[in-house]
Chains A and B, each alone.
Chain A
Amino acid sequence: MIWINFPAFAITAIILWIASIILNTFFSKKKTLEYFSLIISFIGIIVIFSFIVLLWKALERPPLRTLGETRLWYAFFLPIVGIISYFRLKYKWFLSFTMLVAIVFLCVDLLHPEYYSKSLMPALQSPWFVPHVTVYILSYALMAAAALVAIKGLYYMRIKQFDNQTLSLIDSLVYIGFAFFTIGLLFGALWAKEAWGHYWTWDPKETWAFITWMLYILYFHLRYANPKNHKIAMWLLIFGFITLLICWFGVNYLPSAQNSVHVYSRG
């Protein structure tokens, strides 16, 4: 019955992370406050980790069998990726971003207690599940951000205020988002080999992931060969994000997806 204690842990972590995001975003010029924001973000990770450990002990098995349980791992790993990129690469905004996504997962778990016991079908019970989904979540969020900035960019082009800063931001988002997308795709391939016997079967989800991946590859090549042609590049990001949405949600509704291994509701 350890889930009863979850709100206390989750809310503590959420408050710590919100504080850290505020410090990191608005007061990062002062070194001491910057360190302070890192420390509280780290304490937030420890809070979630303690809950995972306690739950693990109470359940006497790794908490990886229900939807609610897997979200705990996302909330745990996301800020870790953020902190690593902070120290290794000095990506300040990225840490805030990962904490924000982690907060969203904790909130989903807080608002939907029925998923605590929603069991995972055997095909999903694998150590690949959490890393595969975590990197995809990061990538989706980054690509969404890139598409939004691209729309803003198109608007700025119309009023002739498009600048290098916008373009640099978009490129950064797409590079990092694409890196995670590729890792998610390849983790999926490696997992598929373990679970279904083949790394690539043109399952509808794979097909749409492939289309999305290729569209972003087109973006890179266009940016490389025609660096001044911003307009098509921005449109590619918007199309890329639309196919990404189809890949994420839409696949379940397509007629060709009836035999997909990614439609889990059949149980």
Chain B
Amino acid sequence: MTEGKKPTWCFPLGYKESFTIAIGLAATGIAIEIATKGAGFPSLHLPTNLIAGLLFIAILLLLHFFFRKNLLVQWLSSTPAATSAISLFILWALILAFVPQNSESGLSLSKVAGMSHITTSWQFTINLIFFLTVLGLTTIRRVAPLNFKSIGFFLNHAGLWLAVFAGSLGSGDMMRLKMYLKQNEVVWYAYDDKQQVHELPIALKLNKFDIEEYAPKIAIVDNSTSKIANNDQNNLIEIKDNVRSSKLGWTFFVKKYYNSAMPFEKDYQPIKTIGAAPAAYIEAFNIASNKKVEGWITCGSFMQPAKFFRLDEKISVAMSVPEPKRFYSDIQFYTKEGEIKQFTLEVNKPYKTNGWKLYQISYNEKMGKWSDTSVIELVKDPWLIAVYIGIFMLLAGAVYLFIIGGKIKHSL
């Protein structure tokens, strides 16, 4: 596949022609976007996408087995064509990285030209078809007839083809719905990202939502900026009973610590109730000036204000908001057929049932651990298995590259 000097637009086509064709495809896509006022490529659903996909595969096979001598088909499985398709993808990805996506602000130029919804735009879709055609034809050409020597090539190319093919064709069938659960309410519907309601054959009930938190910290705060002094994470002390620690010339002692408390007259009392927050009584002693300051600190909650005290003109003592360790929902699950079961949903621990995968994604952050709302995401993706096969082929292909990578020896 090396090229000598030859006139432009004579077969075999080189890089110049390939890039010109790619730019032409991009311009066509943008033109369609503008003509349709930035409507984007329509999303396909079963069975349309499946039929289109099978048709596409049939065309690729047809091109390979009956027209492989055709110069245009040969170009489609050449490195210059691949390079131009990849470069065009890089261009769209760069636009994606710099132009804010799916912003709601009216009919801007970038919206009309499809730049603010790149991944669903005509230009991206045309690029995708071009890319899958080139990658598909190249793969077939290289691996038919089957040959063990091309196993690495096959895994990397066919794996990528399958993952991209199934991922993009199936994107219309993927359902990602949000269910907003209130404690003890059975909910049979969920919302999509356009806030449309979908009725479901399954229902969820929130038995309980809770957050486990790490212990809060004493934060030595700069009075002028209200941030941690010197921006140094060292100026945080984990609060436990009777902890003593020295920072910035002061010695801090945790005299009392309640992990759940409410203000009571001038004091704090331990109590587990809605809106309670951790509170600690701190003694601070300055070694150099022999000065002692003491008082309550709390990070507060949606029901009570934060409390802190000054050490001197420069710094104060405050309490950092405890960081969440884990948040989880105890869920009761129902189906229309009368099936009932219970499970716990937690971040990074989704639950799979009846063709759905359920995720804990959010809660009422203003109310923190007292939140009575839990947001559960329900995901259905019938094409996932094909994408996963592609991903695992690519993983195997990566291992292959690792193995041959150390054995490269060139001779000019």
| Chain A interfacial positions (CB closer than 8 Å to B) | 65, 85, 89-91, 94, 114-115, 117-119, 121-123, 125-126, 164, 167-168, 171-172, 174-176, 178-180, 182-183, 186, 189-190, 193-200, 202, 204, 207-208, 210-211, 214-215, 217-218, 221-222, 224-226, 254-256, 267
Does B167 touch A at the CB level, under 8 Å?
yes
Query: Do the beta carbons of A254 and B97 come within 8 Å of each other?
Result: yes
- With A122-B347, A125-B348 already in contact, the answer to whether A211 and B94 are too (CB < 8 A) is yes
Q: Name the one of B93, B119, B359, B394 contacting A182, with C-beta atoms under 8 angstroms.
A: B394
B242 interface residue per 8 A CB criterion: no
Q: Is B326 an interface residue (CB 8 A)?
A: yes
Chain A: which residue is nearest B322 at the CB level? Answer: A119
Bound Cα distance from A198 to B384, whole angstroms: 10
CB-based contact A119/B325 at 8 Å: yes
Specify which of B83, B377, B401 is in contact with A197 (CB 8 Å cutoff): B377
Contacting pair B93 A186 (CB below 8 A): no
Q: Closest CB-CB distance, A249 to chain B, in whole Å?
A: 15
How many residues belonging to B are interface residues under a CB distance threshold of 8 Å?
62
User: Chain A residues near B99 (CB, 8 Å)?
Assistant: 256
Question: Which B residues have a C-beta under 8 Å from some C-beta of A?
Answer: 1-2, 79-80, 82-83, 86-87, 89-90, 93-94, 96-101, 119, 167, 174, 176, 214, 233-234, 236, 238, 323-327, 346-350, 357, 359, 361, 377, 379, 381, 384, 387, 391, 394-395, 397-399, 401-406, 408-412
- Which chain B residue shows the least CB distance to A91? B406
How far is B359's CA from A8's CA once the two chains are assembled, in angstroms? 43
Bound CA span A221–B97, Å: 24
Which of A89, A91, A122, A267: most chain B CB closer than 10 A? A122
24 contacts between A and B (CB under 8 A): A94-B406, A114-B234, A121-B323, A123-B347, A164-B411, A168-B409, A172-B408, A175-B402, A176-B401, A176-B406, A178-B401, A179-B401, A180-B398, A182-B397, A194-B348, A194-B349, A197-B357, A197-B379, A199-B387, A200-B167, A202-B96, A214-B93, A215-B90, A225-B2
Which secondary structure dominates where chain A touches chain B? helix
Tell me whether A197 and B323 are in contact in the complex, defined as CB-CB below 8 angstroms, given that A123-B347, A168-B408, A215-B90 are known contacts.
no
B357 to A, closest residue via Cβ = A197
Min Cβ gap A77→B in Å is: 15
A171 and chain B: residue at smallest CB distance:
B408
- Tell me how far the C-beta of B325 lies from the nearest C-beta in chain A, rounded to whole angstroms: 7
The answer to whether A175 and B401 have CB atoms under 8 Å apart is yes
| B401: A residues at CB distance < 8 A | 175-176, 178-179, 182
A residues near B93, Cβ cutoff 8 Å: 207, 210-211, 214
Pick the contact of A186 from B119, B323, B395 — CB < 8 Å?
B395
Q: For residue A214, which residues in chain B have a CB less than 8 angstroms away from its CB? A: 86, 89-90, 93
B98 contacts A256, C-beta separation under 8 Å: yes
Among the listed B98, B348, B387, B411, which residue makes an inter-chain contact with A123, where contact means beta carbons less than 8 Å apart? B348
Residues of A within 8 A of B391 (CB): 186, 189-190, 199
Cβ–Cβ < 8 Å partners of B238 in chain A:
117
A256 in contact with B167 (CB, 8 Å) = no
Chain B's nearest CB lies how many Å from the CB of A34? 17
- In the complex, the answer to whether A89 meets B97 with C-beta atoms within 8 Å is no
Residues of the A chain whose Cβ atoms lie less than 8 Å from the Cβ of B349:
194
Known A85-B402, A122-B347, A202-B119; 12 more pairs at CB < 8 Å? A118-B233, A172-B406, A179-B398, A186-B394, A195-B347, A197-B176, A202-B101, A207-B97, A210-B93, A218-B90, A225-B1, A225-B2
Closest beta carbon of chain B to A208's beta carbon, Å? 6
Residues of B within 8 A of A65 (CB): 325
- Tell me how far the C-beta of B217 lies from the nearest C-beta in chain A, rounded to whole angstroms: 9
List residues of chain B with CB within 8 A of the CB of A182: 394-395, 397-398, 401
Decide if A89 touches B347 in the complex (CB within 8 Å). Answer: no
